[in-house]
Amino acid sequence: MPFTPKILAFSGSSRKDSFNKKLIAVGVAAAKAAGGDVTLIDLRELELPIYDGDLEKEKGLPAGAVRLKQLMLASHGLLISTPEYNSYFPPLVKNAIDWSSRPAPDKAISGLTPLADKVVGIMSASPGALGGMRSMLALRQQFSNVGTIVLPAMFSLARADEAFDDNGGLKDEKHRASVEKLAQKLVTLATKLHG
């Protein structure tokens, strides 16, 4: 039976109608078409507090952090679409990485284990001309420091306020092809590394 890589996907935006939530939906469809078993989550629904060492010491990992670690452990790759806030990726993403890197209370799962050797595909959508490029570069650096394997190619969607049709699809065929290519690379490398 052929190996099917599990991909965990999320947007770095909490806004209901964000461009990055639209873009991650396009990416999820492309990753499924490429043969991935994709789980899409909304980071806001995990209700993660801002990481606080005192809180962790007193109460342990929040339920959302435990859930996120479990999802990451079960995955072979991550697909992320991040907004850009002041030339950087948003605190929602940083906070998720911080909580997922903490050891489990019973020490059965060490800190960076859920992230180790995961293949990461990064995208960004922005109404600006740079399409969130600076946030992707910063996120690439962050993921490179926690044991993941970040795909060299990223997808940046500029003028995102004009890029989607009424059904949430990308209007431009070149944009669709770029997302499909990124998703294919993510699924292929995750299969080679973990299959």
**Least confidently predicted of 13-17, 47-51, 133-137, 172-176:** 13-17
CATH number at residue 88: 3.40.50.360
Percentage of residues in the chain having pLDDT higher than 90 = 83
- Within a domain: 72: yes
| Domain that residue 77 falls in | 6-194
- Residue 102 domain-assigned (yes or no): yes
- Number of alpha carbons in the 13 Å side-chain half-sphere of residue 138: 17
- How many distinct structural domains can be found in the chain? 1
Q: 109 pLDDT band (50/70/90 cuts)?
A: low
pLDDT tens digits, residue range 139-186? 999 999 998 999 999 999 999 999 999 999 999 999 999 999 999 999
Rounded Cα gap, residues 131 and 123, in angstroms: 9
Is residue 121 within 8 A of residue 77, CB to CB? The reply is yes
* Mean of per-residue pLDDT scores for the chain: 93
Give a yes or no: residue 68 inside a domain. Answer: yes
Closest CA to 71 of 25, 116, 7, 26: 7
Is 1 inside a domain boundary?
Answer: no
pLDDT for the residue numbered 107: 61
Q: Tell me the H-state helices in 42-166.
A: 53-59, 63-73, 91-100, 133-144
